[in-house]
Every structure is written in C-alpha cells, then in structure tokens.
Amino acid sequence: MENIEKIIFNLEEKLQQTNIRKSTNELEKLISDNFIEIGSSGTIYTKKDVLRNLPASPTIKFTMTDFKTHILCPDIIQSLFRTEKINQDTGSTTHSLRSSLWKKEDNAWKMIFHQGTPYSIE
C-alpha cells in the first residue's frame, strides 16, 4: 500500500522548487485543469493564471513544517502545513498556513485547490 502522506508531501515539496515553479510543463503535470487558488489577497486564480504568472514570479526559498494529510475519500486528499517563504530577490520573509486538495486523475495526483493564509510570528 502506498504511503499517501509521503506522496502528497513530496508533491507539495516539488511545487516549492524553483525549477518546477519556473516550468509550465512541470506545472501542467501537477495542477488539475479545474484548479482554483484563493490567494492571500483574496484573489481567485485558475490554472491558466498560475501557468502565466508563476514562472515569472520571484525566486522563493520555502521551508515547510507541521505537515498533515486527511483522506477525504480514496481519490481526494487534503494537505495542511505551514511555510516560511524567503523572497531571494528582496530578502523578505513571510509565513503562511496552507491547505491543498489533491485529486487522483488518470492515475496521477493533481492539485485541484490551494489556499495560503498569512500569519505573523511574534
């Protein structure tokens, strides 16, 4: 039996890698055609938006912690985690609580939903 938490962790980690974020071909493989993201600004993004915007975005170094998964049904998994993001261009650091939904489509896991909510460390 596959270890679903490890699979989803690896997929989330993959999406945080610069070479993946800059590649529309790699993003195509990981993001569902029905993808929706609610950005920290409240803006809603589609797969088309991500493929257009993410490759041109600043280089970010991510650190992921407190990773958990919940099996919602056999082909839909929710991931919950925290990230620290360091913008390599500006040096600014932000922290977010994140949640994604992954759906098995044609025998491959693809992200169908994502939301990141900023929080501050005091």
Domain positions in the chain are 4-119
Q: pLDDT tens digits, residue range 77-88?
A: 999 999 999 998
Q: What average pLDDT does the chain have?
A: 94
How far apart (Å, rounded) are the C-alpha atoms in residues 118 and 122? 13
Confidence at 1, pLDDT banded by 50, 70, 90: very low
CA 60, CA 76: separation in Å to the nearest integer? 28
Average pLDDT over residues 106-115: 96
Quick one: what percent of the chain has pLDDT higher than 70? 98
Query: pLDDT band for position 18 (50/70/90)?
Result: very high
- For the segment 51-66, what is each residue's pLDDT rounded down to a tens digit? 999 999 989 899 999 9
C-alpha–C-alpha distance, residues 64 and 97, integer Å: 10
Position 100 pLDDT exceeds 60: yes
- What is the pLDDT confidence band of residue 121, given thresholds at 50, 70 and 90? confident
- d(C-alpha 81, C-alpha 70), whole Å: 12
Task: Note the pTM of the prediction, 2 decimals.
Answer: 0.92
Architecture category of domain 4-119 in CATH: Roll (3.10)
pLDDT of residue 2: 62
The predicted model gives 20-45 an average pLDDT of: 95
Residues 6+ apart with CB under 8 A from 114: 35, 36, 37, 38, 98, 99, 100, 101
